[in-house]
Chains A and B, each alone.
Chain A
Amino acid sequence: MDFQEVDRTLEKYDHKHSAIISILQDVQGIENYLSEETLRYISERLELSLTRIFDIATFYKAFSLVPRGRHTIKACCGTACHLGGAVRNLDQIERILHVKEGETTDDRMFSLETVNCLGACALAPVIVVDDDYYDGVTPGKIEKILSAYRTESER
């Protein structure tokens, strides 16, 4: 972990305790997760108890304490997506990748997450891989969507 970048983030927020949520968000942006080592470092530098930092890192859904895969799949489970068959899509992704929601594949290629709502309800059901949106997804389309990322990474 490059702690210089963490230091820069801490400075950006003036080492303020009240900015801890923003700090953790920015730091998570560096490695895509928060390692215990990083959290301990932040705790020391901010002179803020590790308990409080862990409280926040586990309370808010945006934070991950385990490493994530190269590609993040976000399956939207908002109401409009749910009615459109989001559960069937999620089942299908889980079946293809052999992971459950919140897990990462053994080859660290994909992490599967669910989100409450992406605000793209008019396009339901939606899944997002990294920053690419797929609208009107059905279980039959999933294999094709995911294989594009696999082949791209193998190149």
Chain B
Amino acid sequence: MKRISSIVDLENLRESILQKRGSKKTIIRLCLSTGCRAQKSVKVIEALEDEITKQGLQDKVAIKKTGCHGFCEMGPIMVIEPANIFYRQVKPKDVGDIISETVLHGNVVKRLLWKDPQTKELTNTEHDLPVYKKQKKNISYNSGKIDPTDIDDYLAVGGYSALGKALTTMTPAQVVETVVSSGLRGRGGGGFPTGIKWRICSAAPGDIKYIIANGDEGDPGAFMDRSLMEGDPHSIIEGMIIGAFAIGASEGFIYVRKEYPIAIDHLAIAIRQAEKCGLLGNNILSTGFDFTIKIDRGAGAFVCGEETALMISIEGRSGTPRSRPPYPAFEGLWGKPTILNNVETFGNIPKIISKGSDWYSSIGTKKSKGTKIFSLVGKVRNTGLVEVEMGTTLREMIFDIGGGIRKGKRFKAVQTGGPSGGCIPISKIDMPVDYDSLREAGAIMGSGGMIVMDETSCMVDVARYFIHFLLFESCGKCVPCREGLKQMHEILTNICEGRGEKRDIKILTELAHFMTTASLCGLGATAPNPVLSTIRYFRNEYEAHIYDKKCSAGVCKNLFEYVIDEELCNGCTLCKVKCPEQAISGKRKEPHRIDVQKCIKCGICFSLCKREAVRVK
């Protein structure tokens, strides 16, 4: 690849890429992100390649291996351009029909189209899908459209033009002020104004400064950062270079958790490509600005998502947080002024520079600007990634975009913000989603995990789940977090196992207050949120566990029984055959019974019964 040594070079290269691509080829876009890969999209690619070679169509058809389209529930996802035909759950055996019908004759293969579960209507194209209609894709726009391992693809959609603009027409101070007035707030959790952070760091004394992208996405139930890193790594790199220019850093790091091998791979490829063409390295675009990026792999410690712990981990030590101040903007990595932003925050930067802060701040609510990517998962129909304007209501997200609750069950709560967040009940479903409303409701925006729960989710168990998670992830450095979590876990376990006592709710609340006030870092200070929010909104469930010894959701094993509804049971014997404890009896074609003395509540019968005759009592 030729080195790009000026802004003119950059625009010429972009022009030549676009010209080369002017031909009217059919392009098959197939998602190779983790979600679709798990559903065997690699096998589909292989079958496609074979079929195209077999039919000699190499000049007419191109395959594009893209990142996440967002509609992970329906993976593997394929879109055929230029007609924008959307196929879902594509299998290798479908490839023959796709080529002969759609590619060669322009007909749609009906069985692969998305069907509305209620109206049974088919949708032909990607942009007509209801799941995308209420979304506003700014940051995740490229993912699913471009090949993330090909810098030409990124350049073709205007990539690195924001970098060109910043480096050649703006001063570092102008870049900082543009980000300040855009109103962008950190996408990793806290929601601190990004521009202000940059302003503080650029004013901090010192010749050596660092910039870090946090891709350690540790919140369970959140995967938007993974998808962005996998599907559009250059946008993060471009944002980082602009940030480095703004604060005067010459070295940057991307910290990615090792559970994301594809993200690490795609970022490494993108960095190599940017280095090769001179967008990273010395004298970028002949402006005299030098900047390099290294990737650091996390090693499975949730606490390393906390900024001071993350920096200590990059320094090659065990990542335990330290108290602040001094803030990293003054004393960060190796004691030097450092900026740490979430990868999605960096993904916003090129757009802000290209389109201006006025454009950006016109999107969203008064105090939360722009769009945000959420991972909408749990008991919702259309699981996957959604990007919406700040201020969109929970109802719009869960029911309009998410398609409502699965299997006709009732909505109970939505959990946002990961282990530091909280559970929001049905009474708040019309609340706009922005930093401040969520905080008021006892949750937080966090990195954007949104986990929907229905009547089969036990809220005490959910609280115990998060406390259990944090108990093992607490670094143990400060007492309130280490001991507080241990005590909370013990109490919650007692409640879930039927040993709850009257005083427990009060003790939990007191412990929560103590931990919030006295913990060293955000992990401990926000750890009680899942407990507090479930006590606040679902106190009746706690009381049912403590006083009645009942878990109506059928989760806490000691507090419910499985029974077979004799009206519904048709005596198929499947549960009886599969029961590991021989606890089920009954003759073929006659209603079966569960012996509660033998039942270990493994849930096999419950999950196997096609007639839903196994019930929780």
Binding site for B on A (CB under 8 A): 16-22, 24-25, 52, 55-56, 59-63, 77-83, 85, 88, 91-92, 95, 115-124, 126, 133, 135, 138-140
Contacts and interface: CB of A to CB of B under 8 A. Distances in A.
Contact of A138 (B217, B315, B608): B608
Interface string B205-243: 000000000000111111100100000000000000000
A118 B383 CA distance: 15
Interface residue range, chain B: 35 or more
A140 B378 contact: no
B588 to A, nearest CB: 19
B608 A83 contact: no
B259 A21 contact: no
18 contacts: A20-B316, A21-B299, A24-B299, A25-B299, A77-B469, A78-B221, A79-B418, A79-B466, A80-B383, A82-B465, A83-B378, A88-B607, A116-B300, A123-B38, A133-B37, A138-B608, A139-B607, A140-B608
Contacts of A63: 299
Contacts, number: 151
Contacts of B219: 117
Given A79-B418, A80-B377, A121-B451, 16 more contacts: A24-B299, A25-B297, A60-B299, A61-B299, A78-B221, A79-B377, A79-B378, A82-B220, A83-B457, A88-B603, A92-B604, A120-B223, A121-B222, A121-B377, A122-B375, A133-B39
When A and B form their complex, which 5 residue pairs have the shortest distance between CB atoms, in order from nearest?
A: A122-B72, A133-B38, A61-B300, A60-B299, A78-B220
Interface string B28-41: 00000011011100
A22 to B, nearest CB: 6
Interface string B294-325: 00110111100000000001111111000000
Nearest to A92: B602
B198 interface: no
A48 B158 CA distance: 47
B73 interface: yes
Contacts of B604: 92, 138-140
B60 interface: no
Contacts of A120: 34-35, 38, 72, 223
A82 to B, nearest CB: 5
B3 interface: no
B296 A22 contact: yes
Interface in B333-388: 375, 377-379, 383-384
A129 to B, nearest CB: 12
Given A22-B297, A122-B35, A83 B379 contact: yes
Interface string B375-417: 1011100011000000000000000000000000000000100
Nearest to B316: A18
B72 A21 contact: no
Contact of B299 (A62, A83, A123): A62
B221 A60 contact: no
Which of A17, A79, A139 is the most central at the interface, judged by chain B CB atoms within 10 Å of its CB? Answer: A79
B608 A118 contact: no
Nearest to A119: B223
A155 B374 CA distance: 45
Nearest to B37: A133
Contacts of B75: 122
B260 interface: yes
Contact of B220 (A85, A91, A92, A116): A116
